[in-house]
């Protein structure tokens, strides 16, 4: 397994509210996007990512990944949520801060994907890109109901309104799915700074460039989002299993 990642502030936002982290031995990769328009979104994202990586790093066997050692992705997300809430309880200046979370956990025979909010996880398998998460937004529900096209959703003024987030509620509600692990599959965790600027077809083309290294594909994804205007923070984590 190989993991690479990077984050860029973009050209418009005054600070980067995205955070990324991973631990290859624990088999964990995580991405968080602090809620824009609310105070201390960057702090919420930092707390969530640090909680996930610290727990994953501390609670796995010397020759087992965290998931293989019996880790529960739902509980891990809830612990990250608790980390954010505890911070606000100690200092009321941070009250109301929140973040999305996208999580990938790897074991020898399976993987688990968990997410809250609109940060996404994709899988490229045998040249085909598949989105493994659904945005927790009213816009996504409208698309699923046939009330809005994907093109309309990309430009909707409500596209950044979230129905779920860490820190926003006392109990987070992650969606979790488990998948068989297949050698050669490539996973992408990304913030909406990528998916709001780059269409899935172009993401698939960049990820499918087998002659390019993971680092080159990571950099190309971010550069493509920046070339589209760089209006948001953009973060990418690639996991080759």
Look at residue 43 in the predicted model and tell me its pLDDT: 94
* Helix ranges, 73-230 (H): 73-90, 138-144, 150-155, 192-195, 200-207, 214-227
For each of the domains in the chain, give its residue range(s) and CATH number, in order of start.
2-240 (3.60.40.10)
Are residues 206 and 236 in contact, defined by beta-carbon separation less than 8 angstroms? no
d(C-alpha 123, C-alpha 3), whole Å: 14
Residues in Cβ contact with 227 at an 8 Å cutoff, skipping those fewer than 6 apart: none
> What is the percent of the chain with per-residue pLDDT over 70, rounded to a whole number?
98
Look at residue 138 in the predicted model and tell me its pLDDT: 86
d(C-alpha 186, C-alpha 2), whole Å: 10
Closest CA to 130 of 140, 120, 139, 138: 120
Are residues 36 and 59 in contact, defined by beta-carbon separation less than 8 angstroms? no
pLDDT by residue for the chain (241 residues), tens digit each? 999 999 999 999 999 999 999 999 999 999 999 997 667 999 999 999 999 999 999 988 888 999 999 999 999 999 999 999 999 888 888 888 999 999 999 999 999 999 999 999 999 999 999 999 999 988 888 888 888 887 778 778 777 788 899 997 666 789 999 999 999 999 999 999 999 999 999 999 999 999 999 999 999 999 999 999 999 999 999 999 9
- Cβ burial of 156 (10 Å; 0-12, 13-18, 19+) is middle
Query: Which pTM was predicted?
Result: 0.94
Look at residue 222 in the predicted model and tell me its pLDDT: 98
């Amino acid at each position: 397994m190989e993991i690479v990642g990077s984050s860029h502030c973009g050209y418009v936002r005054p600070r980067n509210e995205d955070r990324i982290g991973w631990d290859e031995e624990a088999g964990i990769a995580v991405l968080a996007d602090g809620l824009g328009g609310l105070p201390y979104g960057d702090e919420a994202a930092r707390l969530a990512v640090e909680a996930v990586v610290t727990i994953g790093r501390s609670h796995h066997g010397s020759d087992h990944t965290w998931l293989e050692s019996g880790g529960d992705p739902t509980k891990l997300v809830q612990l990250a949520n608790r980390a954010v809430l505890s911070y606000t309880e100690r200092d009321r200046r941070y009250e109301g801060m929140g973040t999305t979370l996208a999580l990938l956990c790897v074991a020898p025979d399976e993987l688990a994907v968990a997410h809250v909010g609109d940060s996404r996880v994709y899988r490229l398998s045998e040249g085909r890109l598949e989105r493994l998460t659904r945005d927790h937004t009213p816009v996504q529900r409208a698309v699923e109901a046939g009330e809005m096209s994907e093109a309309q959703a990309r430009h909707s003024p409500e596209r950044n309104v979230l129905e779920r987030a860490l820190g926003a509620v006392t109990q987070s509600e992650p969606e979790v799915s488990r998948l068989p692990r297949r050698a050669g599959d490539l996973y992408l965790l990304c913030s909406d700074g990528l998916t709001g600027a780059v269409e899935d077809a172009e993401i698939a083309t960049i990820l499918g460039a087998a002659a390019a290294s993971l680092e080159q594909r990571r950099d190309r994804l971010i550069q493509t989002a920046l070339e589209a205007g760089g209006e948001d923070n953009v973060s990418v984590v690639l996991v080759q299993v």
